Amino acid sequence: MDCRGAPRPIDRPAHASNSVGVPTAPDQNTPRQTAPRGVPPGHPPGPQPTLQPGNLPIVYQSARFVVIDKPSGLLSVPGRSADKSDCVRARVQAMFPDATGPMTVHRLDLETSGLIVLALDPEAQRALSIQFEKRRVQKHYRAILGADLPNDEGVVRLPIARDWPNRPRQKVCFETGRPAETRYRVLTRFGDRTRVEFTPVTGRSHQLRIHAAHQQGLNAPILGDALYGNPSTAPRLLLHATYLRLRDPDTDTPIEIESEAPF
């Protein structure tokens, strides 16, 4: 099936607007945590992690879930083969041996670094997963793109489908793809490179990478992207999950968590 479809240009507004990716000012009463400080003041400490080699940095910890700063090159969940058993979930399970349930709330690509949430009991996993599924979690990413973008902000809307013959790649497909939307904002420009903030509205696999690289998107691959760009442009994929705003599954209190991009 031909999945190229008719050209669908992205929206590229010339001026700032809340409707095109400028985040609403955060609630000043919202607890904010920045990596890697651990348990925020005023919150009861959760179960203490077992210290061992391979521990991951804990950015936020409560009695029922933790937020980890995932390094690039580490799987979120185990792969199918035995040599792919090392992952965030396995390491957090080792750090919290009393944790139960599936633990995984959402995932980051192998090459992407940054904030990832894991639950410590089944009920917390369900409650947090629903927040992600219902798009109640606000997420920001930082990336460096291999081009000087013509606009300061905008929205990319390109549907994404699995590219079965070329797994694990995904592709833009107007016939079978699922709707995908990414807001972007330029942070800095340096030569033919642009540092941007991405705010995904949907959460499709490889969404930010495809929307950055595709010619009907930004036409500017993320540096170091081995699937959709040129891996020789950086020592790793320059994409980092920097910000999460979610609600505590017990108190419904909004929580903001941040992690500095390492590039």
Catalytic: which of 98, 109, 163, 192? 109
Residue 126: Cβ-neighbour burial (10 angstroms; 0-12, 13-18, 19+): middle
Structure tokens at 78: 């185990």
Distances from the Cα of 20 to the Cαs of 149, 183, 232, in angstroms? 16, 6, 32
**3-class DSSP string for 219-248:** CCCECCCCCCCCHHHCCCCCEEEEEEEEEC
Q: Which residue has the tokens 């061992």?
A: 52
109 catalytic residue (yes or no): yes
What would you report as the CA-atom Rg of the chain, rounded to the nearest whole angstrom? 19
Structure tokens at 144: 């460096």
The number of CA neighbours under 13 Å toward the Cβ of 162 is 4
Residue 83: Cβ-neighbour burial (10 angstroms; 0-12, 13-18, 19+): exposed
Catalytic annotation, residues:
109
